[in-house]
Amino acid sequence: MTQQKPVRSPLLALLLWDAGVPLVAYYGLRLAGQSEQNALLAGAVLAALRMVWVAVRHRSFDGFAALLATVLAISLALSFVTGDTKFLLVKESFGTAAAALILLASCASRTPLVLVAVRAGSNQAKRAEIDQLSTEIPQFRQAFVRMSAAWGVGLLLEAVLRVPLVYLLPADVMTGLSLALLLTVIGLLSAWTAWYANRVQTRYAHADGRHPTTTQRP
């Protein structure tokens, strides 16, 4: 009797490559003294290159990389808008809110963004399996709708919460807290999504008589 391999979390690898690398580039360049525009441009370019890489290698659309590239591009455009220190801190909520709205809007479609991301990270056989599960088991797709909605609501709350904090706290305190707030929200959402996606794929793959769905993605 062969022992079944544990299902790996697709969202963890996805977030490390699609979101982690561009964000590390952005904040790393900022800490190194580069301008906001240069840091945002570097992050957006890396996210776009990741999207192209997945499209060429897997022949699939990378929703998370596209989302991050869009958010960074919006932030880059807004970086040229001047104002006082508090306005500049509030401005950081615009990109996060845009990402949240895109995620929430995807919930109304047949392809919620988290499902798009997991599918993009799969090989051809796994994509076919995911497509069949989505078609034959409505609860499978609905679970990914819930995950996309959780990301949308979480990021939107983070964006809204930042605004009163900017005007209640000193600017130097809020500068560090703003980054900590965003990373905390992303970390919590990532951990929950990785666990939940793994559970959903295992449950419904077993229910449909298949092996657990996994994604393999560099």
**H or E segment to which residue 116 belongs:** helix 113-120
Concatenated DSSP letters for 18-68?
A: IIIHHHHHHHHHHHTT--HHHHHHHHHHHHHHHHHHHHHHHSS--HHHHHH
Query: Which pLDDT belongs to residue 146?
Result: 94
Contact 184, 100 (CB under 8 A): no
Provide the token pair at 27.
Answer: 């904040």
Measured distance CA(164)–CA(108) in Å, rounded: 30
For 125, phi and psi rounded to 5 degrees?
-65, -40
Query: Which pLDDT belongs to residue 62?
Result: 66
Query: Which pLDDT belongs to residue 6?
Result: 41
169: helix, coil or strand? coil
Count of C-beta atoms within a 10 Å radius of residue 189: 19
Chain segment 22-66, per-residue pLDDT in tens? 777 877 887 788 877 788 788 888 888 877 877 777 666 666 777
User: First vs last Cα of the chain: how many Å apart?
Assistant: 30
Query: Which pLDDT belongs to residue 150?
Result: 95
Spans in the chain with pLDDT lower than 70:
1-19, 58-63, 82-84, 121-123, 205-218
